[in-house]
């Protein structure tokens, strides 16, 4: 069986969790016997990566980049969707023996491209992995209002408050197009029960949604299998908290800095590592973000005691294990209902406990004071109290490391779950 995967980005150019999850599954599946012809169609983050006038470009064998959808509300495709000689995507794919289509998003890909693929290849079952809340939340897909407050909606009135009354008609059109797409999907995959429940409330039948985690890195299992007794600390004296991930306001790096600086006053032997952030990025590389947020981060960093906060810069997957080995506790402070952050499973695979807010899929993956620590997101001191708890309970760290390692996803188990869904659809 060969599968066509669709992703809203290629990890060579965009390193978000959804892009990595899609590519990881694609790589693994095409290495399986009988799946060698499996392909990937990924949206480009930058049109300049494609030759002028080009809508699709081959990267490697069975890997293609396509023009990115520029419409963030209606998610129209940027490619010409025809079956004649001018339909470049159709021409590239029509000779490929795909038997199943698995889309890991429709943002940047285009709703109409997914619908067209289903029409071009009607015998191919269509699987859609749900990431974030884009179907129900047209404002950046996070159920996070423009003012930064969590959204309990959605409702037409709430959406208009975020997007403006002039978007009333496009919002109605968007809803109809999404319903049309979802009616063509044979089954859905959700990486968390929390996300599934939200989509069931939105209107998808629960029996159509399978809860399956994103596939962990193949080396994750070996990290645990080869582990003996976890260290209480990479450093005998310093307790290292670390952030891993993208830099933006909704990830809450400013909240982490505030909480750490306050806790550091009473616990000078704690240190914070910021993986994914550098001084160069702060001073010139974050121009696309809210300048108030960037300025706030700079001010907090400049007020820190020398050596207490280390900016370790961007990192690749090959560097992750080394940086995790330098970490005692991973810290998250997301302001929104994150679905299945890969950093949690990456941390567990290295037997590192995680601090996170009691929100969304994060809360279902962390057991409070066992493999991590959950704080109340509405509490102004919740994160600081979590840092202080670890600093004042060093004897608990070794036990929590063991529990974190025991919580790690098993690569083969997740792969088997995906294969089971595929086989069920092919036999239906």
Q: pLDDT grade, residue 68 (50/70/90)?
A: confident
In the sheet that 63-66 helps form, which strands lie side by side, from edge to edge?
56-60, 63-66, 39-43, 3-7, 100-103, 126-129, 187-190, 209-211
Domain 219-406 has CATH 3.40.50.2000: yes
Give 243-289 pLDDT, tens digit per residue: 999 999 999 999 999 999 999 999 999 999 999 999 999 888 898 89
Count of residues in the chain: 428
Q: Output the pLDDT for position 174.
A: 87
- Give the three-state DSSP class for 46: coil
In this predicted structure, the answer to whether residue 228 has a pLDDT above a threshold of 60 is no
Q: pLDDT grade, residue 85 (50/70/90)?
A: very low
Contact 191, 340 (CB under 8 A): yes
Contacts of 207 (CB under 8 A, 6+ apart): none
Q: What percent of the chain has pLDDT over 70?
A: 94
Contacts of 29 (CB under 8 A, 6+ apart): 3, 5, 35, 38, 418
Q: How far apart are CA 136 and CA 178, in angstroms?
A: 9
Exposure string for 179-212, b = 16+ CB within 10 A, e = fewer: eebbeebbbbbbbbebbbebbeeeebeeeebbbb
Contact 14, 44 (CB under 8 A): no
Q: What percent of the chain has pLDDT over 90?
A: 58
Contact 166, 189 (CB under 8 A): no
Q: What is the mean pLDDT of residues 138-148?
A: 88
Strands (E), 50-200: 56-60, 63-66, 100-103, 126-129, 187-190
How many other CB atoms are found less than 10 A from the CB of residue 426? 12
Pick from 107-116, 148-157, 377-386 the range whose average pLDDT is largest.
Answer: 377-386
Q: How far apart are CA 342 and CA 167, in angstroms?
A: 34
In this predicted structure, the answer to whether residue 154 has a pLDDT above a threshold of 80 is no
Average pLDDT, the chain: 89
In this predicted structure, the answer to whether residue 371 has a pLDDT above a threshold of 60 is yes
In this predicted structure, the answer to whether residue 82 has a pLDDT above a threshold of 70 is no
DSSP label of 374: E
Taking the domains of the chain in order of start, what are their residue ranges? 3-216+411-427, 219-406
Rounded to the nearest 5 percent, the helix, strand and coil shares of the chain are 40, 15, 45
In this predicted structure, the answer to whether residue 199 has a pLDDT above a threshold of 70 is yes
Q: How far apart are CA 122 and CA 137, in angstroms?
A: 29
In this predicted structure, the answer to whether residue 346 has a pLDDT above a threshold of 90 is yes
Q: Output the pLDDT for position 115.
A: 87
User: Residue ranges of the alpha helices (H) in 44-192?
Assistant: 88-93, 111-120, 156-163, 168-184
CB-side exposure of 325: number of CA atoms within 13 Å? Answer: 8
Q: What is the mean pLDDT of residues 110-133?
A: 90
Under CATH, what is the fold of the domain 3-216+411-427?
Answer: Rossmann fold (3.40.50)
Rg (CA), the chain: 22
Q: How far apart are CA 212 and CA 191, in angstroms?
A: 5
Q: Output the pLDDT for position 211.
A: 97
Q: Output the pLDDT for position 230.
A: 47
Q: Which long-range contacts (CB under 8 A, 24 or more apart) does 285-292 make?
A: 286/247, 289/247, 289/248, 289/249, 290/249
In this predicted structure, the answer to whether residue 148 has a pLDDT above a threshold of 90 is no
How many other CB atoms are found less than 10 A from the CB of residue 305? 10
Q: Look up the pTM and report it.
A: 0.89
Phi-psi region of 283 (alpha: psi -120 to 50; beta: other; left: phi over 0): alpha
Contact 115, 181 (CB under 8 A): yes
């Amino acid at each position: 069986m060969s599968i066509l995967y669709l992703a809203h980005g290629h990890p060579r150019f965009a390193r978000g969790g959804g892009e990595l999850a899609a590519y990881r599954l694609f790589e693994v599946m095409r290495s399986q016997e009988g799946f060698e012809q499996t392909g990937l169609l990924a949206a480009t983050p930058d049109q300049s990566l494609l030759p002028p006038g080009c809508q699709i470009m081959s990267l490697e064998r069975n890997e293609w980049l396509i023009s990115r959808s520029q419409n963030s509300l209606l998610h129209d495709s940027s490619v010409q969707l025809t079956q004649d000689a001018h339909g470049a995507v159709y021409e590239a794919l029509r000779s490929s023996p795909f038997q199943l289509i698995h889309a890991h998003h429709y943002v940047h890909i285009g709703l109409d491209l997914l619908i067209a693929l289903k029409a071009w290849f009607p015998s191919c079952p269509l699987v859609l992995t749900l990431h974030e809340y884009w179907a129900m939340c047209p404002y950046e897909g996070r159920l996070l209002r423009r003012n930064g407050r969590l959204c309990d909606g959605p409702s037409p009135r709430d959406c208009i408050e975020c997007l403006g009354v002039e978007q009333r008609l496009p919002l109605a059109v968007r809803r109809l197009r999404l319903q049309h797409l979802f009616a063509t999907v044979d089954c859905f995959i959700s990486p968390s029960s929390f996300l599934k429940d939200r989509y069931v409330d939105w209107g998808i039948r629960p029996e159509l949604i399978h809860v399956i985690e994103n596939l962990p890195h193949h080396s994750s299992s070996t990290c645990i299998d080869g582990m003996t007794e976890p260290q209480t600390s990479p450093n005998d004296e310093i307790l290292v908290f670390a952030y891993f991930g993208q830099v933006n306001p909704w990830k809450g790096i400013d909240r982490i800095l505030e909480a750490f600086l306050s806790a550091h006053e009473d616990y000078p032997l704690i240190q914070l590592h910021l993986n994914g952030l550098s001084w160069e990025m702060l001073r010139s590389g974050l121009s696309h973000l809210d300048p108030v947020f960037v300025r706030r981060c700079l001010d907090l960093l400049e007020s820190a005691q020398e050596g207490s906060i280390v900016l370790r810069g961007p990192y690749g997957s090959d560097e992750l294990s080394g940086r995790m080995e330098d970490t005692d506790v991973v810290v998250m402070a997301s302001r929104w209902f994150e679905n299945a952050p890969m950093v949690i499973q990456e941390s567990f695979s290295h037997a590192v406990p995680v601090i996170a807010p009691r929100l969304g899929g994060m809360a279902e993956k962390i057991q409070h004071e066992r493999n991590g620590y959950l704080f109340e997101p509405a509490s102004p001191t919740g994160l600081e109290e979590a840092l202080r708890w670890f600093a004042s309970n060093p004897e608990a760290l070794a036990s929590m490391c063991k529990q974190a390692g025991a919580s790690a996803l098993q690569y083969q188990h997740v792969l088997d779950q995906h294969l089971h869904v595929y086989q069920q659809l092919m036999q239906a």
